[in-house]
Structure formats: structure tokens, C-alpha cells
Structure 1
Amino acid sequence: MSPTPRAAGLLVIAALSALVIPPWLAAGLCLAIVAAVVADAWPARHLPDLERRVPRSLARGVPAEMSVTADGGAASRLSVRQPAPPDVRIEPQENPNPLRATITVMRRGRHRLEPAATKNQGPLGLGAWYHRAGTGDELIVYPDLPAARRLAVAVRQGRFAEEGRRSRGPLGLGTDLERIRDYQPDDDIRQVNWRATARRGSPMSNQWRVEQDREIICLIDSGRLMSAPIGDRTRLDAAVDAVAAISAVADEIGDRVGVVAFDRTIRRQLSPRRAGGVAVVAAIFDLEPTLDESDYALAFQTVASAKRSLIIVQTDLLDSAAARPLLEATRILSRRHAVVVASILDDDLQQQVETPAANLAEAYRTVAALTVLEERAEVARQLRGTGVEVVEAPLRLLSSACVGAYLRARSRARL
């Protein structure tokens, strides 16, 4: 039990009253206030019953509603406070009972939400009891699944378009004719049925049945290079978001999707399967980067014996020396599989190069940034020379760029 600020203020006034009234009377006032504090707080001494409603799983950066309701009896005045662990935002954190708040988790993975704290005051607000009520909860935080679903829906509806490219129109060309229909503005010119167009006098298009059951394997580098920060997250966070988007699109199309996460060892592995998007996300949502150098040869050996697949590698193209193991491994892998290597373009480096240097220090930074960009461009050139498609995109566009590479591989019959 503790006195409230109101009780503390009354005690100060009573103590100061000794300057104008007899000390024994001031002491009596202080004792009376202490007795009032005890009497006021006594009915509120019981541990309140607490009910906390919070989603078991959330998506990174997506707000969700939560509530904490405490029942301490009719004779008490309750307020509730919910402590927030690192990377978790709760607004507001404290409120008179009940607490209704918005929770946003900024980092995927597993987080522990500590028990709520209650302040249980007596009717006069002189004394209060402080309790930790309830139990802790584990929060499961997935990557940006809403963004992944939006990309999948856009692909299904023929609205998917990468920045700088026209909309793809309906999915794929396929090889089996399904039906002949009216021409749509987004149709590929190869879909036009010229004989049907001549007969009808209006443009007609072939609609092809999209091939399904292709195999997509996402390789995620979770080693040292992927621990580097980019924006408000790490490079690995961006890679996991991209894999979630690829998996959602694969489910929409009907392809089989799997994942391998690696550093110097194989850390996670899930073989390709139909409707595998949920399983892929469950396998990698709590993947964290390590400080180990990544063994590309080991990772590629893991998938080398699979049937011809699209292998999408999420990594960082730092420089020729760091990328040498990747180059050696992709030369072998690309003989059997279609390979895409995806990496994030650092906007800060590009901005540094494009901004005129104001002093010598800025000039040195510009030269350093230009050197890094030239090294990355050289690595990308060498990878393309082995038959690999290289995807380089800013953080906000990486997921859609990877989905675009996936769809291009399908339309070119590379799978």
C-alpha cells in the first residue's frame, strides 16, 4: 500500500500547520491523515481480476487493437498500465480502467508481453495498492503479410505492375488453350486470335490455362552481410518480407514453394509444396541474422539435386571479394535451374553520389559511396554472365521486384 499524491499533499500541509497551531494538534492531524489513508485503501487491497485481450499473432508494423480490463470491486478506483517491451509500441500505455490501446510491433519474431500493472485506489483517492496482475503472453509477429497478400491479389486480378513497367495483365500465357474471349487492354499481343478477330469484326484473345505445380525455392542468406541495417530494419528483414510475397503469389498461381535459410550451416529448410506459403512464413518469421560468413556452396548443394526449379537467392552484393563464393556456386546451379539473385539497393549511397560535395569530408564520402556502387555493379555484371537474373531494388520495392522476376521466369518458360 502507498499513499497517493493527494495524501502526501495533505500530510505536508498538516506538518506545516505546526507553525501556526500547537505541535501536538499538528501531530494529531498527521496521525488522522495516516489513519484515513489506511482506511481508504483497505477496501481496495484485493488483487483485481484481470482480462487482457491481445491478438496471438500480428504482422510487423501493422497496428492491432488490444484491451486490458480489471475488476477490483465497487469500492475501488482502478487504472491500468501495460508495459511495452523493446520494439513494441502501445498507445496509450496507461488509462483508467479499462485500457483500450493500439499495439504495433516493429520487429518480427517472438516477443513477450509482460503482465499488466494496476493501480487500485480507495474511494477518497488517499491510498492505493499497486499490483502486477495476470500472466505474460507470447506475441508471434510475422513479416509484412498484408503487403504480400496485396501483391498476390494484384497478380491474380492482372493489376500487378513493377515500377517502370506496364501492368502484366492476367496471369501467364500458358500452353493449353482454355477459351477465346474479348480482347482486354492489358492483354499480351501474343494472345490475340487473329482468325477469331476477323470473323467477329472485333479484337479477340486466347485465354491460356496457366501451368501450375512449378517449383520455387527461396534461399535466404542469414549470415553477417544480412545483419546490416537498411532503413528501420535489417537486410534480412527485407529478404523475409520478399520471400513472404513470393510465397503468397506462388499459392495464388498454384506453384510449389519451399525455403532454405543458411549461414555457414543450414538453419531452416522446407521442401517445396503446394499451398506452402503459410508453412514458409512459419519457418522463417523468427529468423535472425548471425555474424557467420555464409556458405553458398553448402546452400546450393542442398537444392542442386531438386527437379528444375526457380531458385531465388536473397543476399547482399557487397563487392567482388565477398561475392566470389556466390559467383562460383551460381555457375554450377544455373546449369540445372533458373536462378535469380536479389539484393537491396541502398538509397543513401545513391543519394550521396548524386549530391554535390560541400567540403572535403563530403567528397571522401562520395568517393567511398561511388566505389561501393561500382563494386556492386561489377558483381551484378558477373552474375548475369553466368545466366543469372539479378534483381536490385530499393527497400520499398524489393518484394514487388522479386515477384516480377518470378513471373518473368514463368512467362519465358524457364521453369
Structure 2
Amino acid sequence: RHTVGAVAARARGPLGLGRWHHRLEADREVLVYPDLPAARRLALAVRSGRFREEGRLTRGPLGLGTDFESIREYVPDDDVRQVNWRATQRLQRPMSNQFRVEQDRQVLLLVDAGRLMGAPLDTRTRLDAAVDAAVAVALVADVVGDRSGVVAFDRVLRRQLSARRAGGDAIVRALFDLEPVAEESDYEVAFRAVEGAKRSLIVVFTDLLEEGAARPLLDAMPVLTRKHEVIVASAADPGLAAVLRARPAAVADVYASAVALDVLAAREQVAHRLRAAGARVVEAPAGALGAACVRAYLAAKASARL
């Protein structure tokens, strides 16, 4: 949001014989939306079939799914469940069933905007990385024909947008000026906002700091995963890895390494408990979080879990 002050303009007539002075109206607020080129590049890559998923290229919005599309020749990265054994026997070469992944599924993005999300990651905050990744998932949902919505929260609901088709740009407008607050987040507030939704992919963008802070998330996860496919996404802290890679030059460096190991162990413990409750955990560097979340989303669609 930017404030533009009053503007004065002077205009001359075509023959230069007269001048007019105009003063435009008083200060006004102008909304400037981010372009988010990385998120849009991901959506374009998925649309064109150039997005690389777990080391292999996607072939457009097709996968396992349940809607039969066609029979084609087997390729090495096909799932064994796709093999059409009758066609293979008849044609004497491996053949696969091709299914169209179902469209019009619902994707709900829950963005934590509490205290922990204000932590810096290189040149931005955890919340910045979460918003970029959430928009990437929403724009890809537009491409594959799903509906997307968003809930941003801290101790209260900050933003809420119901799931809709072509929701990517609306989600950009809903989140563009979101800032973290210096309060602990209340996950129950966010979960109550989506408890009545039909089966959805729910992506929770938060920080997996340690078990005490994540307790409400851990307690609610079994309830969410009974009805929904759930991904918990968090940006990895490059500073921790840098501390562990550095050769200690003083006693203080040894202590710093020990603290970094404790933090990583606590994060892994939280991630382990979330997986045990049925969630998929995605943790990646801030710049790669969007691509990692898109991979997890497309994998859920391709395996008919959504």
C-alpha cells in the first residue's frame, strides 16, 4: 500500500496561447500487487508439461487418477499399477493405462502469520516465503482445474477467501500486504474456519520450531487427516546448515553447532509426529518452497489422494 500525494498539472493549448492549471484530488492510497514471477513460472511449467517432479518431467494434467483416458506405450517412470497386462500380452510390448487426474478438487491454503513467521530468512521473512509458496500452489491449481481458497491467521483470522475456480489472482490480492504480528498463533482458529469444508487438500504454511510451539498443530492433525489430505510446509533455515558446515574456530563455535543440532533435532521430531498423524511434511529452502509444495500437490493428485 502506498500513499500518493496531491498532484498539480499544467497544460498548454495547441497554439501556446493559453495555459490551464489543474490540481488533482488529495492524497489517495494505491494498492501495488507483487508480480511473483517465480510462482507464475511454476504454473507455466506445469501448464506446458515442463515441470520436473521428483526428477522426472510431468506430462501435463495426467497421472494415475480414476478417469480412464487411453492406453499408451509404457515408459520407465510409469507406476506399475498403470500397466495394462492384457494390452501388453496382445501387442507383445509393455503398455500402460493413462488416467486423467480428476479436476474441480478443492485446495485450502492456511497461512500462519504469527510471531514465528516474522523470523528472517536471508533477505525476507518466513511469512514472505510462505506467501510466495501459497500463491504458487494456487496458480498451479488454476492450471489443473482445481478450486483454491486461503485462510491467514495468527490469534485471530486475518484473511479468509472461500475456494473458487481461478482463485490464484484473488489469493494474491488477499495476501499481498499480510505482515506477521508479535503474537503466538492459534491453530484452532484456522482449523475451525475449514472444519466444514468437503474433502480437500489442506496446506498449512508454518514454522516447525519445536514440539511445545507446535503442540496445537500436533493435537489437531489426526482430526484433519481423517477427512482431508494434509501437507505441512515450512521454510528451512539456511543459517542452521551454515553453522554445521563451518569448521569450529573457537569454543563458541562448538556451542553454536550444538545449538543448531538441537534445533534441527527438535524440528525433525515435530515432522516425525506430523507424519505419524497422517500429514505429509514439506521442508525446503525459502526459494525452493513453492516448487516443493507444487510437487507434493501434484503427487497427491496423481495418486488419487485428492
- Provide TM-score, normalisation by structure 1: 0.64
Give 3-state SS (helix, strand or coil) of 2:109's partner. strand
Match of 1:325 in 2: 216
Post-superposition Cα deviations, 1:317-369, rounded to whole Å, max 9, x if no partner, equal: 11111111111122222222111110011111012112221111111211111
Query: Contact 2:50 / 2:58 at 8 angstroms: preserved in 1?
Result: yes
* Separation of aligned partners in 2, 1:332 and 1:315: 18
Post-superposition Cα deviations, 1:288-333, rounded to whole Å, max 9, x if no partner, equal: 1111111001110110111111110000011111111111122222
Query: Contact 2:207 / 2:234 at 8 angstroms: preserved in 1?
Result: yes
- 2:245 alignment partner, one of 354, 364, 379: 354
Match of 1:141 in 2: 33
* Separation of aligned partners in 1, 2:35 and 2:133: 9
Match of 1:292 in 2: 183
> Aligned residues, how many?
289
Matched, 1:311 2:219: no
Matched, 1:167 2:57: yes
Matched, 1:246 2:117: no
- 2:67 alignment partner, one of 176, 186, 193: 176
Deviation, structure 1 residue 188: 4.2
* Superposed counterparts of 1:22-37, under 5 Å: none
Deviation, structure 1 residue 116: 9.7
Give 3-state SS (helix, strand or coil) of 1:290's partner. coil
Give 3-state SS (helix, strand or coil) of 2:51's partner. coil
Post-superposition Cα deviations, 1:68-91, rounded to whole Å, max 9, x if no partner, equal: xxxxxxxxxxxxxxxxxxxxxxxx
Amino acid in the other structure paired with 2:221? T
Match of 1:281 in 2: 172
Deviation, structure 1 residue 193: 3.5
Distance 1:115 1:195, change over 3 A: farther
Post-superposition Cα deviations, 1:211-256, rounded to whole Å, max 9, x if no partner, equal: 1111110000001110111111111110010011101111111111
Unmatched runs of 5 consecutive residues or more in structure 1: 1-109, 118-132
* Separation of aligned partners in 2, 1:161 and 1:138: 38
| Alignment RMSD | 2.5
* Separation of aligned partners in 1, 2:262 and 2:292: 25
Amino acid in the other structure paired with 1:167? L
Amino acid in the other structure paired with 2:57? S
* Separation of aligned partners in 1, 2:272 and 2:142: 32
Give 3-state SS (helix, strand or coil) of 1:356's partner. coil
Match of 1:219 in 2: 110
Query: Contact 1:113 / 1:139 at 8 angstroms: preserved in 2?
Result: no
Amino acid in the other structure paired with 2:232? V
Query: Contact 1:176 / 1:208 at 8 angstroms: preserved in 2?
Result: yes
Amino acid in the other structure paired with 1:141? Y
Distance 1:362 1:207, change over 3 A: same
Match of 2:275 in 1: 384
Query: Contact 1:352 / 1:365 at 8 angstroms: preserved in 2?
Result: yes
Match of 1:152 in 2: 43
* Separation of aligned partners in 2, 1:139 and 1:298: 28
Give 3-state SS (helix, strand or coil) of 2:227's partner. coil
* Separation of aligned partners in 1, 2:88 and 2:273: 46
Between 169-178 and 207-216, the greater mean CA deviation after superposition:
169-178
* Separation of aligned partners in 1, 2:227 and 2:168: 24
Matched, 1:401 2:292: yes
Give 3-state SS (helix, strand or coil) of 1:140's partner. coil
Larger Rg: 1
- 1:364 alignment partner, one of 238, 248, 255: 255
Deviation, structure 1 residue 111: 3.3
Query: Contact 2:147 / 2:165 at 8 angstroms: preserved in 1?
Result: yes
**With CA pairs under 8 Å and 6+ residues apart, which has the higher RCO, 1 or 2?**
2
Match of 2:160 in 1: 269
Matched, 1:208 2:99: yes
Identity over aligned pairs, percent = 57
Distance 1:412 1:173, change over 3 A: closer
Matched, 1:373 2:264: yes
Query: Contact 1:169 / 1:187 at 8 angstroms: preserved in 2?
Result: no
Matched, 1:342 2:233: yes
Match of 2:15 in 1: none
Match of 1:34 in 2: none
Give 3-state SS (helix, strand or coil) of 1:410's partner. helix
* Separation of aligned partners in 2, 1:172 and 1:231: 37
- Provide TM-score, normalisation by structure 2: 0.86
* Separation of aligned partners in 1, 2:75 and 2:258: 49
* Separation of aligned partners in 2, 1:185 and 1:381: 31
